[in-house]
Amino acid sequence: MLLIIAFAIFVIIVSIKYIGLFLKQLAKLDAVVVVAIITGGVSIIGVVISSIVGKSLEYKKSRNEYLAQKREGPYCDFVDLIYKVQQNGKAGTEYPQEDMIKDINKFSKQLTLWGSPKVAKKWIEFRQLAINPKNNLDSIWITEEIMNEMRKDLGTGKTKKGQLMGFIINDIKDYIKQK
């Protein structure tokens, strides 16, 4: 796309000297013909520019839709992982560490290919925080930031602080006050 725009600019720059010659020839023509030529030229340029912009926007939209489809699976896997961790040990549910490690590795592999740069950056921050158990509160907030970035990638938009974690943590307002 940029190549097309660069080529168009190059053509315009190169043709500037020929425009002067063209304008001298226009001066010799009748005013009605000159107006018709200028109007036609402006119309053609408008169609070309709108065509280029339209194709560019269409490409960007289709690319975003494609990426959203590819990201949906890994992003859902992450949310499943968070819910499994939260439910671990409650009401007879068990999430063995081996399964957790397997799920984390699977998510990391998928994120390597399909995750947006912001989600990947937040995931790295999360993994670094998760090493130290003293960072539990920070881990909660970075988890929510990851989910919000994922929502943004999928087109649903971000939520206010505590809203997403409120689905998982009943007393989230107490944690918001601590932050």
Phi and psi, residue 52, nearest 5°: -65, -45
Residues 22-34 pLDDT 10s: 777 777 777 777 7
**Integer Cα distance of 113 and 129 in angstroms:** 23
CA 7/CA 2 separation, integer angstroms: 8
Angstrom CA distances, 46 to 23, 49, 102, stand at 20, 5, 55
CA-wise closest residue to 104 among 143, 133, 47, 58: 143
Return all residues near 155 (Cβ < 8 A) that are at least 6 apart: 64, 68
Q: What is the pLDDT of residues 6-52, one digit of tens each?
A: 887 887 777 776 777 777 777 777 777 778 888 898 899 999 999 99
pLDDT band at residue 179, thresholds of 50, 70 and 90? Answer: low
pLDDT in tens, 98-140: 999 999 999 999 999 999 999 999 999 999 888 887 777 788 8
What the block records as the tokens of 101 is 């490690």
Placement of tokens 């839709």 in the chain: 65
Would you say 149 and 126 are in contact if contact means Cβ atoms under 8 Å apart?
no
CB 126 within 8 A of CB 142: yes
Residue 11, CA atoms < 13 Å, CB-side half-sphere: 7
pLDDT digits (tens, 9 = 90+) for 157-168: 899 988 898 888
